[in-house]
Amino acid sequence: VPRGGASSDNAVSRRDLLIGGGAAIGASALTAAGAFGLSAAFPNEALGYQKQLSGEEVVAFFGKNQSGIQTPIQSHGVFAVYKFKHQASRNEIAGVMKAATVEASRLCSGKSGLSDTDPMLAESPARLTVTFGFGTNIFSSARQKSKIPEGFTEIPKLKIDQLEEKWSGGDLLIQIGSDNPLTLSHANRHLSRVVSSVFEPLYTQIGFQGFSGNTRPGETQRNLFGQKDGTINPKNSEEFNDQVWAGPETDWFEGGTQLVLRRISMKLGTWDLLGEHDKSAAIGRDIVSGAPLTGTEEFDTPDLDAKNELGLSVIPDFSHIRRSVTGSDKNKFLRRPFNYDNGVNELNEPDVGLIFAAYTSNIRERFIPVQERLAEMDLLNLWTTPIGSSVFVIPPGCNEGGFIGETLLS
């Protein structure tokens, strides 16, 4: 059901719209227009109205945790990574974060920024979220190195890595998500100006998910391999508290989290040559339904002990889910990746992949054991190569009047 409120009974079918012409669309379109209280003579006027409404959706900026993590993923995402332009004091960094907090909170509520050069572009937040992250240099500049959270560390060099400097490192992260790419682009440009007294751009990763209107809440999106990606993820606040958010014992960091951001290129050219059976075997799940190879529905629990008539594991030994399966609760984390597609590279091969973003309360204990197991052996490595790697501390959220990072920088 479209968010504008039309029921499926009186919605105009795609075919009606495609063939156009008054006769084909007349009756149902007029009913739809009536349902909106419009006097629209054409169905696209009514549909235009529905789109406007979903663009008005707002995600709260203020709160115990920063938004953009537990928030259901938006259809577009940007990870804008900055480095220090020059040495800055704790006060200077706090000043930038105060201004950035005010501007980000305004944009997320659908208001233009105070120093906005194009206020019209802020009118449709479409679930805009802005999430700030700190690299270790912020802790050293603010003379707060002792406050680097427990377990926060770079990912050790892995044998599968072919890291490029241009996609790695960084001192400040501004992660932005929205269902409206225009709003997102505007927010990104505006916030880059707001932090520019101290920070300059290092790299920007731009990604997308399937159009949000295409999936129902709780439904898993597909990645560019066609796989349902995100089946095993924390689903409610209890699981987020266990796996993602730092607890009260972490002092200033309570309500924060740690982000592993990796750019992973995907070799679509060779992946495309596989049939459905091999694609399913590589992951250990049916490529179409997302069900484990031992089940029938996406959310069935995989049976890792099941053998086929030849005595071989039904979920192959080197499949991605067998190798990544987290086993103990201690190793679980949130994966919230976006796809990227930059056309073709200089070799005329698809320049596509995953902006892999994992959020965990402790990178060393929870994330690295899983990553090392996958680097050691995972069928998916035949078609994937990590080309970028950064880690960020995501400070807790704040209340109105406060600022992101206040418990560290005040």
- Positions that interact with ligand HEM (CB under 6 A): 223, 225, 227-232, 264, 266, 283, 285, 320-321, 324-326, 354, 356, 370-371, 374, 380, 384
Q: Which is nearer to ligand HEM, 245 or 356 (CB)?
A: 356
**How far apart are CB 337 and ligand HEM at their closest, in Å?**
7
Q: How many angstroms separate the first and last alpha carbons of the chain?
A: 47
**How far apart are CB 292 and ligand HEM at their closest, in Å?**
8
**How far apart are CB 29 and ligand HEM at their closest, in Å?**
40
**How far apart are CB 247 and ligand HEM at their closest, in Å?**
21
Task: Give me the long-range contacts of 7-13 (CB less than 8 A, separation at least 24).
Answer: 7/35, 10/34, 10/35, 12/43, 12/46, 12/47
Q: Which is nearer to ligand HEM, 33 or 321 (CB)?
A: 321
**How far apart are CB 373 and ligand HEM at their closest, in Å?**
8
**Looking up tokens 């906005």, which residue turns up?**
116
Distance from C-alpha of 111 to C-alpha of 407, rounded to nearest angstrom: 26
Task: Give me the long-range contacts of 35-41 (CB less than 8 A, separation at least 24).
Answer: 35/5, 35/6, 35/7, 35/10, 36/4, 36/5, 36/6
CB atoms under 10 Å from CB of 234, counted, come to 19
Q: Nearest CA to 338 among 108, 159, 120, 184? A: 184
**How far apart are CB 290 and ligand HEM at their closest, in Å?**
6
- Which strand (E) or helix (H) includes residue 207? strand 199-208
**How far apart are CB 223 and ligand HEM at their closest, in Å?**
5
**CB of 294 within 8 A of CB of 312?**
no
Q: Taking each helix axis from N to C terminus, what angle separates 43-55 and 22-35, rounded to the nearest 10 degrees?
A: 40
- Which strand (E) or helix (H) includes residue 61? none
Distance from C-alpha of 172 to C-alpha of 199, rounded to nearest angstrom: 8
Q: Which is nearer to ligand HEM, 275 or 311 (CB)?
A: 275
**C-alpha separations of 273 from 209, 351, 383 in Å:** 24, 17, 11
Q: Which is nearer to ligand HEM, 17 or 374 (CB)?
A: 374
Alpha helices in 6-66 (DSSP H): 14-19, 22-35, 43-55
Q: Which is nearer to ligand HEM, 76 or 263 (CB)?
A: 263
Q: Which is nearer to ligand HEM, 35 or 304 (CB)?
A: 304
**Looking up tokens 């991605």, which residue turns up?**
320
Q: Which is nearer to ligand HEM, 186 or 320 (CB)?
A: 320
Quickly list DSSP for 345-406: -TTSSEEEEEEEEEEES-IIIIIHHHHHHHHHS-GGGGTEEEEEEEEEEE-----TTS-TTH
Q: Which is nearer to ligand HEM, 50 or 324 (CB)?
A: 324
Q: Which is nearer to ligand HEM, 40 or 357 (CB)?
A: 357
**How far apart are CB 331 and ligand HEM at their closest, in Å?**
8
**How far apart are CB 308 and ligand HEM at their closest, in Å?**
20
**How far apart are CB 268 and ligand HEM at their closest, in Å?**
11
- Which strand (E) or helix (H) includes residue 409? helix 406-409
Q: Which is nearer to ligand HEM, 127 or 285 (CB)?
A: 285
